[in-house]
Amino acid sequence: MGSRLSVVVCLLVVSLAASAPAQTGAAAGLAVPATTTAINSVTPLSQRVVAYDIDAKYNAKAHSLDATETLTYHNLTGQPLDTFPFHLYLNAFQPTSTWVREGKREATRGQDFEKWDPKSNGADEIKSFEVVGQGDFTNQLQFIHPDDDNKDDRTVVQVHLPKPIPPDGYVQFKIKFHDQFPETLERTGWNRDFVLGGQWFPKVGVWWHSAWNCHQFHAYTEFFADFGVYDVKLTVPQYEVVGASGIEVSSVNNPDGTKTVAYHGEDIHDFAWTASPHYLIYNDIFQSTMGPVKLRIMMQPAHWGQAERHALIAKQTMERFDRWYGPYPYKTLTIVDPDPGSQALGMEYPTFITGGTNWFMPKGLLLPEGVVEHEFGHQYWYGMVATNEFEDAWMDEGINQYSEAKVMDSIFGPSTSVLNLWGITGGERDQDRLFYESVAALDSMAQNGWQYFNYNSYGGITYGKTALILLTLENVIGEDTMRQAMHTYFLRYRFTHPTKEDFLKTIEEVSGKDLRWYFNQAVYGTQVLDYEVLKISSVPVEWYKDDLQEKKGVTEYVDNVWIHRKEDFVMPVDVEIKFDNGDKVREHWEGQDRWVRYAYRKKAKVESVEVDPDHKIYFDRNNFNNSQTEEANGAAARKLANYWTCIGQFFAQMLAWWLV
Amino acid sequence: MKENMNLVSAGAAVVRRNKRYIVWFYLLNLAFAHFGASAFSDAAHSILDHSLYADKVLHGFNLGVFMEMLARPEFGALPSATHPAMMFAVVFFVASLVFMPGVLLGYASDHRLPRDEFFRACGRNVWRFVRLFVFFAIIAGVLAGILFGALNALVTAADKTSNERLPFFTQLVGTLIILLVLTVIRIWFDLAQTEVVLRDQPAVRKAVAAGFRKTWRNLGRLLGSYVVIAIVALLVLLVGIWLWHAIVPPSSVLGAFIIGQAMMLLLLAMRFWQRATAVAFYVKEMIEPVLEERVVAAFIAPVVS
């Protein structure tokens, strides 16, 4: 009896212990550090949810890595948590993953996977998974696929804890994992002796809107995580030059020919690193309004001559972001010029970006500038204002593309901010129009990143349309107001996870205008805008007289002008009518009807008509029909035909040169 | 080197004496290219002529606006603009094939070749030239295929190294070498064509063999001459493009036309210079010992059609 009683008591105690919430962090001695050594601030800038402590050893020959990770999680959700999902994104590089499915379907970045190359294999394999105080859960991990029905996708894993973590409590995970990096197909992996470690460690999802938000790895979108502190030790061969997120804390040579480099990052939500024996380092300093920022530019030897070019555009961009939106608070920015053959160009990670150039890059071709500018912009729109890229890709890529247009135009001029070479020009806005035009009606901006029609639509809408919509909005509410709105949005939502409405309402609030008519069409809708000058007519009032002789300035005409809204986006617009006596008339049309006609009785004929004469609307699908002149001017067409003729002649001559 | 320059000068003298051929071929080239560009021109006129947006390609060259124009549905599919240009390039090639025998005969002649003799030479040699072209296409095609295949393998290997410039320079040097090899073949067949026309050689295989022997025995001189002229052609192109960029205002359609056509004319002249060099070489080195006999046969023999 006594023994039975003791068994019952024991079971009761065990049962109570199992069902009771785990200890709070204070009781267990857990905490997310409040250090401020990596930022120019004496207090933490974010609500730090996570602390990652990772010790990783990289095998450069096998392109693999073995690591131990200690993750301390602070439950700030206000409710007990007993389930935790983790990203294991290197598992996307397997033939049955959702990412490869999407890639095969969409030929993402040119990858249509006609044949699976074993070098493309990547893996993030958890060797052991312990929850401190609750035991080993390695065998209880479950792969989940919240976004699709692909049971073979292994990019999200979930663990269920018997003891929930109470509100404001802490939990610590100790994870041993093995990474196999793929040859870079997209963003992360190795190429020759270069490696970029992105999405390389088990990373916990985000509790957002009363649920876990932890998407699978997709073709276009991959970022959403909580802020915290990162302490990462990377052990690599001594010949490697290493760069990473955060600040470098120490570098120690080990007796086995390796070295261990330690990094520390604060108020960041991801950690990436790179290693290659070939990097040359160019150092510079940018003085932000919060303090000095060390620029560490890791150049390929063949690109060393462009190091200054990288530094200059980085500083010019940082100065404008600092002045327009707010300060960059981190002490470092690492700019990586990745191996040119790799697919790791143009990527963003906190305090760590990759550029993209090649050894022959004329100064008039502003690709390196554009990439560095864009990726730095992500330090704001993704890095600090940490929107959900999976669900609101336009809020980081698109807002950033808008910022890119503003910054690049302010430095290089609106018509030459992409290309200014041998008389051939191109600007950011032209580029965005090209992205957008062919996919204008396919998708709305406000949809999940992995559910776009295809890669072109994702790019055209997320990048191109968003930039054009915001540039146009700037003309609706005024450039200063727009800048003030962006500034307010940044200061209000930095180090948080804002939503679409947070952004849109901030603009409405700062501008003092109800802009729903615009947002409903532009952001939430797929409406397309295309105004055209449909027809011009100038008929003499006395047309019926047989002896009528038309004389300029004497004959009176009835002038009619028809403006047509071809598509379904309704937007007020100005119309300018020029007459052949030099008169100009400005009309304002609300655009509500399908068409409008303006009629005049004047001693002048209509010379030209232009819709949107101040060029305030950037997303009109066809700018050629926005104007009409009475007289034809064939000069532009003749010029292009002349070019075409010359090319044809050259081609014909070369054919005859070699074959006859 | 001096011999090369003598040959190049001799070729230049021949070209100077026979400028009319270049002019006629240039006019043919321009006319065909104009026809080839008509679809493009019509589409561009329909979009640009009444639009103020056209200013962006008139007063400068905004690549984005140009591409917007190409993307407009009313412009039509791009092949509808490129295919006519390619077709007329082929027509120009055929015309060159047909009329080149007359040019070669004119270049060998010390007097202005009468029109009927010109066309008679063309008619007499047209099928011989077609057969020569087939020979050339087979030999050059096979050789170019092998060489470019080998070059691709080299570039792929170079691409695996961490020296970023290596693939580019491998490609560049390899392409130059292949062009040199193809130039040798071109010289060989230029001499074979000259042999066919000046000796009235109906056996094309014999002409090919003779061309090969002459090329092989005088490779240095001939290749040097051809390369010098090719370099001049390249300079003509580079200087022309520079002048176009430097002195022609973006909106000057006439200025662009003049400089563009000057470039095309000079470029065409370079190839004729090479042909003239081959003829000068042939006449000087090969015909001279039997000049009286053969020239009489070539020029006086009644033509049997």
pLDDT at position B286: 65
With contact defined as beta carbons under 8 Å apart, do B167 and A359 qualify? no
Instruction: Report how far residue A293's alpha carbon sits from residue A98's, in angstroms, rounded to the nearest whole number.
Output: 39
Q: In 3D, which of B137, B151, B92 has the Cα closest to residue B271?
A: B92
Residues A253 and A353 both lie in one domain? yes
Q: How many separate domains does chain A show?
A: 4
The backbone torsions φ and ψ at residue A17, rounded to the nearest 5 degrees and listed phi first, read -60, -40
CB-facing half-sphere around the CA of A629: CA atoms within 13 A: 16
Residues A124 and A179 both lie in one domain? yes
Q: Is A162 on the interface with B (CB under 8 A)?
A: no
Residues A245 and A376 both lie in one domain? yes
Residues A219 and A238 both lie in one domain? no
Residues A505 and A356 both lie in one domain? no
CB–CB of A658 and B85 under 8 A? no
Determine the average pLDDT of the residues in A516-528: 97
**In this model, does residue A616 exceed pLDDT 50?**
yes
Contacting residues for B19 by C-beta, under 8 A, at least 6 apart: none
pLDDT at position A76: 96
Last residue of a domain, one of A172, A195, A226: A226
**In this model, does residue A230 exceed pLDDT 80?**
yes
Residues of B in contact with A610 (CB under 8 A): 52
**In this model, does residue A247 exceed pLDDT 60?**
yes
Smallest Cβ distance to A655: which of B40, B49, B89? B89
Distance of CA B182 to the CA centre of its chain: 13
Query: Could you tell me the two tokens for B241?
Result: 């493009």
Instruction: Report how far residue B161's alpha carbon sits from residue A640's, in angstroms, rounded to the nearest whole number.
Output: 42
Last residue of a domain, one of A384, A414, A440: A384
Residues A363 and A328 both lie in one domain? yes
pLDDT at position B287: 52
Residues A374 and A418 both lie in one domain? no
Determine the average pLDDT of the residues in A473-485: 97
Give how far B93 is from chain A: nearest CA, Å.
5
Residue A11 included in any domain: no
Q: In 3D, which of A516, A417, A397 has the Cα closest to residue A465?
A: A397
Among B25, B29, B47, B51, pick the best mutation site for testing chain A contact (most A Cβ within 10 A).
B51
Report pLDDT digits (tens) over B156-172: 999 888 788 899 999 99
Using only C-alpha atoms, chain A has a radius of gyration, in whole angstroms, of: 30
Determine the average pLDDT of the residues in A95-110: 82
pLDDT at position A251: 97
Residues of A in contact with B92 (CB under 8 A): 652-653, 655-656
Residue B136 included in any domain: yes
CATH of the domain at A581: 2.60.40
Portion 258-297 of A in contact with B at CB < 8 A: 278
Residue with tokens 């020959």, as numbered in its chain: A61
Residues A186 and A250 both lie in one domain? no
Residue A6 included in any domain: no
pLDDT at position A102: 87
CB–CB of A637 and B48 under 8 A? yes
Residue with tokens 């003092």, as numbered in its chain: A512
Smallest Cβ distance to A426: which of B62, B100, B165? B62
Residues of A in contact with B63 (CB under 8 A): 419, 424-426, 430
Residue with tokens 């602390």, as numbered in its chain: A51
Residues A502 and A516 both lie in one domain? yes
Residue A494: what residue type? R
In chain A, the residue whose alpha carbon lies closest to the alpha carbon of B274 is: A657
Residue A622: what residue type? N
First to last CA, chain A: 111
CB–CB of B52 and A608 under 8 A? yes
Instruction: Report how far residue B18's alpha carbon sits from residue B112's, in angstroms, rounded to the nearest whole number.
Output: 8
CB–CB of A636 and B57 under 8 A? yes
Residues of B in contact with A645 (CB under 8 A): 30, 33-34, 36-37, 260
Residues A175 and A76 both lie in one domain? yes
Q: How many separate domains does chain B show?
A: 1
CB–CB of B267 and A650 under 8 A? yes
Residue A444: what residue type? S
Mean pLDDT of chain A: 94
Report pLDDT digits (tens) over A306-333: 999 999 999 999 999 999 999 999 999 9
Residue A660 included in any domain: no
Instruction: Report how far residue B173's alpha carbon sits from residue A578's, in angstroms, rounded to the nearest whole number.
Output: 59
**What SS3 string covers A306-334?**
HHHHHHHHHHHHHHHHHHHCCCCCECEEE
Q: In 3D, which of A145, A100, A101, A98 has the Cα closest to residue A121?
A: A100
With contact defined as beta carbons under 8 Å apart, do A38 and A264 qualify? yes
Report pLDDT digits (tens) over A459-470: 999 999 999 999
Residue B301 included in any domain: no
Give how far A558 is from chain B: nearest CA, Å.
21
Report pLDDT digits (tens) over A337-356: 999 888 899 999 999 999 99
Instruction: Report how far residue A593's alpha carbon sits from residue A612's, in angstroms, rounded to the nearest whole number.
Output: 17
pLDDT at position A109: 59
With contact defined as beta carbons under 8 Å apart, do A559 and A584 qualify? no
Scanning chain B, the segments in alpha helix (DSSP H) are 2-17, 19-36, 38-48, 55-58, 63-71, 79-108, 115-159, 165-198, 204-217, 219-247, 253-282, 291-300
Last residue of a domain, one of A501, A522, A543: A522
Compute the C-alpha angle A94/A392/A222, nearest 5°. 20
Q: Is A584 on the interface with B (CB under 8 A)?
A: no
Among B28, B30, B40, pick the best mutation site for testing chain A contact (most A Cβ within 10 A).
B40
Instruction: Report how far residue B111's alpha carbon sits from residue A559's, in angstroms, rounded to the nearest whole number.
Output: 69
First to last CA, chain B: 44
SS3 of residue A149 by DSSP: coil
Residues A273 and A330 both lie in one domain? yes
Residue B304 included in any domain: no
Determine the average pLDDT of the residues in A512-519: 97
Residue B261 included in any domain: yes
The DSSP letter of residue A385 is B
**In this model, does residue A8 exceed pLDDT 50?**
no
Residues of B in contact with A431 (CB under 8 A): 64
pLDDT at position A219: 84
Portion 611-630 of A in contact with B at CB < 8 A: 622-629
Instruction: Please give the residue range of the domain that contains residue B269.
Output: 2-295
ipTM of the complex: 0.92
Instruction: Please give the residue range of the domain that contains residue A613.
Output: 531-636
Looking at the DSSP assignment, which residues form a beta bridge with residue A274?
A196, A243
Residues A248 and A366 both lie in one domain? yes
Instruction: Report how far residue A617's alpha carbon sits from residue A624's, in angstroms, rounded to the nearest whole number.
Output: 13
Do strands A332-336 and A352-354 pair parallel, antiparallel, or not at all (unpaired)? parallel
pLDDT at position B291: 44
* Segments of chain B with pLDDT less than 70: 1-5, 286-305
With contact defined as beta carbons under 8 Å apart, do A483 and A471 qualify? no
Determine the average pLDDT of the residues in A105-122: 80
Q: In 3D, which of A328, A384, A352, A350 has the Cα closest to residue A498?
A: A384
